[in-house]
Structure 1
Amino acid sequence: MKKSTLLNSEIAYLVSTLGHTDEITICDAGLPIPDHVTRIDLALTHGVPSFIDTVRVILTESQIEGVVMAEEFAQVSPELHQALLTELELEQSRCGKRFNISYVCHEDFKQRTHQSKAVVRTGECTPYANVIFQAGVVF
């Protein structure tokens, strides 16, 4: 049995096949997912798994260099937005690298998901709880 934190085989495969600048999206239960993008659906029920738990686990297995969020996330769901920023700060401290964090309007965010290698759908039911991670390198 796999020893590290990430047990989901689809996400483990996704992370292991990411190249520099490839993008993945982690989203709430309501974000539309483009038909041509791989969907990894973790949603079981409202809130399970949570957005922040999913982010936390994916960050244990992947090196990122860029983060994209909708501007509305900070405005409409400030507590969860702050929780994500806290996780990103912790990850930057752990890996010794700074991430480029940018914001776009929600409509542009949804269009950006079309570039993702995959969208990981959580059971989160907090508005705008979505993030795009751009893969970095460990060297």
Structure 2
Amino acid sequence: MKKSTLINSELSYLVATLGHTDEITICDAGLPISDHVQRIDLALTHGVPSFLETVRVMLSETCIEGVIMAEEFAQVSPEHHQALLVELELEQAKTDKKIHIQYITHEQFKQRSEQSRAIVRTGECTPYANVIFQSGVVF
């Protein structure tokens, strides 16, 4: 059995095969996902797993150099948005690597997510709780 935090086989494979600048989306239960993008559906019920729990696990296993969020996230769900920023700050402190943050409209976010290697669907029901992680390098 795998010893580290991430034990989901699909997510483990995804992380192991990411290259520099590859993107993965972590989303709430409502984000539309195109048929041509790999869907990794973790949602069990409303709120399970949460967006932030999923973000924490993915950050524990993945080197991230940038994130993309919808502008609406900060406006409509400020507490969740702030909690995500805290997680990103903790990751920067732990790795001593800057994480670039970019904001785009929700419509642009939905279009951009279609370029992701995979979209990870959580059970989160907080509006706009979505993020695109851009893979970095560990060296």
Letter of the 2:18 counterpart = L
State the TM-score, normalized to the length of structure 1: 0.99
Does the CA-based 8 Å contact 1:38-1:117 persist in structure 2?
A: yes
Confirm whether residue 86 of structure 1 aligns to residue 82 of structure 2: no
- Distance in 1, Cα, partners of 2:34 & 2:77: 24
Look up the SS of the partner of 2:20 in the other structure.
Answer: coil
Does the CA-based 8 Å contact 1:29-1:121 persist in structure 2?
A: yes
Give % identity: 78
Consecutive unaligned residues of structure 1, counting only runs of 5 or more, are: none
Letter of the 2:89 counterpart = E
Count of aligned residue pairs for this structure pair:
139
Deviating above 6 A after TM superposition, structure 1's stretches of 4 or more consecutive aligned residues are none
Confirm whether residue 77 of structure 1 aligns to residue 110 of structure 2: no
RMSD: 0.3
Q: State the Cα deviation string for residues 70-127 of structure 1 (Å, max 9, x = none).
A: 0000000000000000000000001110011000000000000111000000000000
Does the CA-based 8 Å contact 1:34-1:113 persist in structure 2?
A: no
- Distance in 2, Cα, partners of 1:94 & 1:33: 32
State the TM-score, normalized to the length of structure 2: 0.99
- Distance in 2, Cα, partners of 1:137 & 1:74: 28
Does the CA-based 8 Å contact 1:44-1:123 persist in structure 2?
A: yes
